[in-house]
Structure 1
Amino acid sequence: MNHVPKRHLLTRLWATALLATLGLSLAQAADNDYPNKPVTVIVAYAPGGQGDVFARLVSDKLSTIYKQAVVVDNKPGVSGTVGTRIAAKAKNDGYTLFLGQTGEITVNRVLMKDLGYDPMKELVPVVLIGNAPLVMLAPADAPYNTVAEFIQMARAKPGEFSYGSVGAGTPGHLSAVALALGAKLNMVHVPYKGVGPLMSDLMAGRLQAFFSSASAAMPQIKGGKLKALGVTTTRRMNSLPNVPTVAEAGLPGFSYTLWGGLFAPAGTPVEVIERLNRDVNSVLAMPEIRSRLESDNVAVPKNTPAEFADYVRSEAVKFEKLIKDADLKLEQ
């Protein structure tokens, strides 16, 4: 048996302790020093959408906290894949972040082939910012007033009911697919390039339904131009207490929302991710920020990176199953 002199053993123990302390000090230094230059938050869609709103609300406050510019950079194109690819391939130093939403993270990877990146592997969850319901809208003069009545009439006219969306794979599109699959409906999908033309056609009765973000839906509902048939969350919306959930129409468990959160390129230092998570959660707890989001019916849950990662994985499983069960193709 080899015996290590006591003096050498003590030296090794001191060296090990020193390295551990040094490692901790470097991690703390990385945390305390971050950021020491401007941070970019990439949004994969044009300004004005829900994701852009999330990004700008948070970035404005982070700029004040960090005393560094936190800049939103819109990179729209090809159902969000242009901006997502840029973020996934960015340097993993914490200075390029991504405002990821339902489609870019969990849907496109299933619907589209040869993306050139895997958002579930190349982007890591930092913090969930908000979760917004969708509202099933119909023309104001439609002969149906509830989801149940819509289902009954659509079943009686297979292939004659059409619904709009702002693109294949969007939450609005997939919510309608889930409704059709669950209620055994044969409906026609009509994709639009923007919500404006879609709303106009819905008001004119050229479409029978549209699953819209609550923020876009509320002005039309309040103005009497469209009516709400149901909401996609498991609970009714506070601002539409008399509008039932889709689940109440006989589709138990129906829950599809528009969520958005911050992601970072894989390999970003854990200390930076934890710092961002803490700081964004503190921003979301500010009364003016929470009030602004809740006025748009956005749920603002406090969460850790691990909790957000679990949520993203559950959403990925849900949408992968839906797309497979519906045999959904990108061109649909």
Structure 2
Amino acid sequence: MHNRFSWPKLATALAAAVAVVAAGVPAAAGAASADTPTRIVIGFAPGGALDVFARTVAEKLRVSLGETILVENRPGASARLALESVKRAAPDGKTILISPAPPFTIFPLTYKRLPYDPDKDLVPVAYLADVPLVASASVSQPYKTMPEYIAWVKRNPASTGFGLVTLGGTVHFGVLTLRKAIDVPLTPTAYRGAAMMLTDEIGGTLPIGVDAIGGQMELHRAGKIRFLGVTGTKRSALLPDVPTLQEAGVPGFDMASGWYSAFVPAGTPAATVARLEKALLDAVKEPDVRARMAALGMEMAGQPGAQARKTIQAQRAQWKPIVEASGFTADD
């Protein structure tokens, strides 16, 4: 007697066998379980302004996405360690970098080698916040405006110190631009932190300095320092009565403001990026987020990832000839 195959029965048996095998195979690489926590990675220690911002955003995302959101602090190498860790993460939407501008705008110009490609290894998801900076001086100084300061420093060429907290950053190259424009050998003077810079300002040993608004507001309210001008192309909502440096006829600082944007690893599906973009933009539009961050010197921007990419390219293009002319290279 010959055995006869029943194709319907064979198909059923094969399907069952495949199901048994598949049950023992882990999910494909790059996929993530629905209950896998989403990590927001930042390159700074707990307690700072970016840490507070990231945790505030995380609270909003927990509600809007219905997921567990963790904030992971990976300080070191001027936020590059955080960037590298996100670059290596699975492109599944479960790892988000919130970064300041320099790793994407200035570092590609000042470092001979970077362990990442700022245009290929990460995808901009959303431009979240602006961090305007302000030029300040002691109230005991004889100048009350930037034009008055420039006239004063031309008369006092031995007092050319210009305070900042990071060499090789946008303020540094803004000072170099201003130095060339007014033909005065201004000296970028780097401090370990804003507190030390402001101490020298108030003490009269530093004629002027530039740093984030948030770190200077209390001294301004206390009548210790005077605000002379803000960076950027428009006045800050935090200091509406203070002109921009550009308005005051001071070149070099129109793209010197800081910002924070969100990124995910390259290869993250477009639908996942769009989902995160919406959640992040919704978060920074919340009135309580805006109010809390304003107290730390941030203005919520809420622009899509495409705008973040355009901003990065525009700022890098502006700074490139200035950095190249300076001959400055970073080495840490």
Q: Same fold (TM over 0.5)?
A: yes
Q: Tell me the TM-score normalised to structure 1 length.
A: 0.82
Q: 1:161 to 1:105 in 2, by over 3 A?
A: same
Identity across the alignment (%): 29
User: Which protein has the bigger helix share?
Assistant: 1
1:284 Cα deviation from its structure 2 partner: 1.6
Q: Tell me the TM-score normalised to structure 2 length.
A: 0.82
> 1:271 maps to which residue?
271
1:1-29 C-alpha deviation (Å, 9 max, x unpaired): xxxxxxxxxxxxxxxxxxxxxxxxxxxxx
> 2:303 maps to which residue?
303
1:239 Cα deviation from its structure 2 partner: 4.2
> 2:314 maps to which residue?
314
User: Is the aligned partner of 1:65 residue 2:52?
Assistant: no
Kept in 2, the 8 Å contact 1:46–1:52? The answer is yes
Kept in 1, the 8 Å contact 2:143–2:149? The answer is yes
Counting matched residue pairs gives: 302
1:259-299 C-alpha deviation (Å, 9 max, x unpaired): 10101111111111110001111112222112333455533
Bigger radius of gyration: 2
The 5-angstrom pairing of residues 1-332 of structure 1 reads 36-158=35-157, 160-251=159-250, 254-255=253-254, 256-296=256-296, 298-330=298-330
1:254 Cα deviation from its structure 2 partner: 4.3
> 2:16 maps to which residue?
none
Q: Distance in 2 between matches of 1:218 and 1:34?
A: 45
Q: Distance in 1 between matches of 2:136 and 2:42?
A: 27
1:82-141 C-alpha deviation (Å, 9 max, x unpaired): 222222232222222111111122111211122222223211100011112110011221
Q: Distance in 2 between matches of 1:183 and 1:91?
A: 50
Q: CA RMSD in A?
A: 2.6
Matching residue's letter, 2:142: P
5+ residue gaps, structure 2: 1-29
Q: What secondary structure sits across from 1:116 in the alignment?
A: coil
Q: What secondary structure sits across from 1:110 in the alignment?
A: helix
Q: Distance in 1 between matches of 2:229 and 2:309?
A: 29
1:236 Cα deviation from its structure 2 partner: 2.6
1:176-233 C-alpha deviation (Å, 9 max, x unpaired): 3343344333122222222222222222122222111111121111111211111112
